[in-house]
Structure 1
Amino acid sequence: MIGLPALYTLAGLLFAGWGLMVVFDRSHPGRIGSTLFWGLIALSFLAGDLLGDVANGVLVVALVVLAAMGFPKRGLAGEVPLAERRASAARLGNRLIGAALIVPATALIGTLLLPQLAFVDPKQVTLLSLGLGVVIATVVLLRWLRLAPVHALGEGKRLVDGIGWALLLPQLLASLGAVFALAGIGEIIGDGVAGAIPQGARLPAVLAFTLGMAGFTIIMGNAFAAFPVMMAAVGLPILILGLGASPVVVGAVGMLSGFCGTLLSPMAANFNIVPAVLLDLDRSAVIRAQMLTALPLFVFNTAIIWGFGFP
């Protein structure tokens, strides 16, 4: 049955391809370290299940060490020259958006049709359709622009070289949230909050929940990782079971409070760092622009739970 392992294999082969491009590029400024970086990621995708927990943990630590040393560094192998890219963009113009639309269209169609196929995992059809859309869009663009497959690999490497180690932050931070939940961090925080909040005091309890959601999201860069921790700490035991708050309001608006932290966090690299890097902006430019939205929205979310979350 085709499931997530197929996507992991595809991603692993992509990372391995980038590693091979670097290792054969003798002009690369950080050939050994960058090759190790991409190679270790490829290994985790291709053989992570076989390595075991300890080996995977060592692999992640090695990636962190390499990132701290400034890897991966950017090389030029496989890239389409800048002048050629600009000429192609000027010639094709907005028609290029048509290829980009292949990805969401395939994801939508595949989500509706793939569950009918017995050899496709019905629980993973959306992700599989998304991956299939990327493959189809890549093939279409290569044929349309009359480029060799190595150019797709090279242009992909150009983008990830610009992003650098921040590429891994979403996966690592989501894993951190799972570790926090398994370690019982939520219960520890809940015991401390319960002792500090007066019995029956709604507003302090709501503030503890929304501030915790925003704060943990700033730390972990991912509101989905913060949610199980803060729900176990404050949302469920204090707001819902203790004070009778609506689970729907607490859950939905609590996530929105976490997203306020996303707008303020450099750890949310895919939202706040990657766009700045790709557009050659100051790395804090996106966060500064979002602050005037995040702070009033946080106050508004807290007011919603306090004013409308208790029947």
Structure 2
Amino acid sequence: MISLELIYVLAGLYLARIAWLSARDPANPRRLPTALFWALMALSFLIGDRLPAAWMGGVVIALAALAGLGGVRAGRVEPSPVGQPEAEAQRLGHRLFLPALVIPLVTVGVVLFGAGIGWGDWRLFGAQQITQIGLGTSCLLALFAAAWLTRTPVLAALGHSRGLVDAIGWAALLPLLLATLGSVFAAAGVGEAVAQLMREWIPVENRFVVVLAYALGMAAFTMIMGNAFAAFPVITAGVGLPLLVHGHGADAASMAAIGMLSGYCGTLMTPMAANFNLVPAALLELKDPYAVIRVQIPTALGVLAANIVLMYLLIFRNAG
């Protein structure tokens, strides 16, 4: 059975290989700290659920220290022969996009139909967290599809992927950390604290002002957290539900949908969303690491303004 634990093990083994390659790279001036960083990541995936919480906390602190002190550096990956990438791109054409399309198609297929694939009581996919299982399975199939399409051995492809991992660097951690941050903040009572501040500082009886506070709060908190999914439970619990839904009778579904879109506007304007904004700049080798953000800011502000207007016009249609 393909379970989430199996996906974690495969990811851990891949990170362990990255650590091993980094440790053996004499061209990397920080090869040992870099190798330690990826080794700790591999440890987290492989046995993190069996380690005491305090130990995993120490691992997180060590990862932050290694990244913050500049211990994670890019090494040297054996370059392809001159002209080979261009020649291969010409030969394959648009077929190069097929492995990338495998990921969304297989993920959606597993989510929709994976629970029914099996024989008797045996099921191919685990029932718990099937979305993550589908995503992990699709990434593995995309790897084999890319290797088959380009006639490259799978192990060689894994080795060359180290260049991409090095280019992303410590920013690879941000999606993992930010995904848990929203629930941690919500459990810590940040939403209630935000609601209390809003009641003291804004006229909560004014619908437009509360809508403005909710939309801007989603965008601003997303900029701080780097992830709209992390900001959503905090701002919705603090402003959306108590002030808009319960206070003014707003429709919760439309409020939440437009609120998430407002949060995405913040994603476009923050370096904290490194996987969206900093990683593309690094992969394209742009001189300005914030070039992507600078280009996106006008669009983000325009969409945010439109979201505020739409929210005010739509969410109170059934309110008294």
TM-score range, shorter chain: over 0.9
Using a 3 Å threshold, how does the CA distance of structure 1 residues 5 and 80 change in structure 2: closer, same or farther?
farther
Q: Give the 4+ runs in structure 1 shifted more than 6 A.
A: none
5+ residue gaps, structure 1, are none
Task: Check the 8 A contact 2:198/2:204 in 1, yes or no.
Answer: no
Q: Deviations over 1:176-235 (max 9, x none)?
A: 222211110110111111122335211221122111111100000101100100111111
Using a 3 Å threshold, how does the CA distance of structure 1 residues 141 and 192 change in structure 2: closer, same or farther?
closer
1:181 alignment partner, one of 166, 178, 186: 186
CA distance in 1, matches of 2:88, 2:166: 22
Q: TM-score w.r.t. structure 1 length?
A: 0.93
Q: Deviations over 1:20-60 (max 9, x none)?
A: 11122233322110110100000111111111221111111
Task: Check the 8 A contact 1:80/1:154 in 2, yes or no.
Answer: no
CA distance in 2, matches of 1:99, 1:149: 14
Task: Check the 8 A contact 1:12/1:44 in 2, yes or no.
Answer: yes
Paired residues for 1:125-136 under 5 Å: 125-136=130-141
CA RMSD of aligned residues (A): 1.9
| SS class of match (1:122) | coil
Paired residues for 1:128-277 under 5 Å: 128-277=133-282
Task: Check the 8 A contact 2:204/2:243 in 1, yes or no.
Answer: no
Deviation at 1:77, TM superposition (A): 4.4
CA distance in 2, matches of 1:251, 1:160: 35
Q: TM-score w.r.t. structure 2 length?
A: 0.90
CA distance in 2, matches of 1:82, 1:23: 27
Greater Cα shift, 51-60 or 224-233: 51-60
Paired position in structure 2 for 1:93: 93
Paired position in structure 1 for 2:114: 114
CA distance in 1, matches of 2:109, 2:213: 43
CA distance in 2, matches of 1:190, 1:33: 43
Q: Could you tell me which amino acid in structure 1 is paired with residue 243 of structure 2?
A: I
| SS class of match (1:198) | coil
Q: Are residues 1:72 and 2:77 paired? A: no
Q: Could you tell me which amino acid in structure 2 is paired with residue 296 of structure 1?
A: G
Paired position in structure 1 for 2:308: 302
CA distance in 2, matches of 1:83, 1:60: 42
Q: Could you tell me which amino acid in structure 2 is paired with residue 65 of structure 1?
A: A
5+ residue gaps, structure 2, are none
Paired position in structure 2 for 1:54: 54
CA distance in 2, matches of 1:211, 1:104: 31
Task: Check the 8 A contact 2:215/2:263 in 1, yes or no.
Answer: yes
Aligned residue-pair number: 311
Task: Check the 8 A contact 2:228/2:263 in 1, yes or no.
Answer: yes
Q: Could you tell me which amino acid in structure 2 is paired with residue 245 of structure 1?
A: A
Deviation at 1:88, TM superposition (A): 2.7
CA distance in 1, matches of 2:112, 2:202: 48
| SS class of match (1:163) | helix
Q: Could you tell me which amino acid in structure 2 is paired with residue 161 of structure 1?
A: D
Using a 3 Å threshold, how does the CA distance of structure 1 residues 38 and 64 change in structure 2: closer, same or farther?
same
CA distance in 2, matches of 1:196, 1:108: 44
Give the percent of matched residue pairs that are identical in Structure 1 and Structure 2: 45
CA distance in 2, matches of 1:2, 1:221: 31
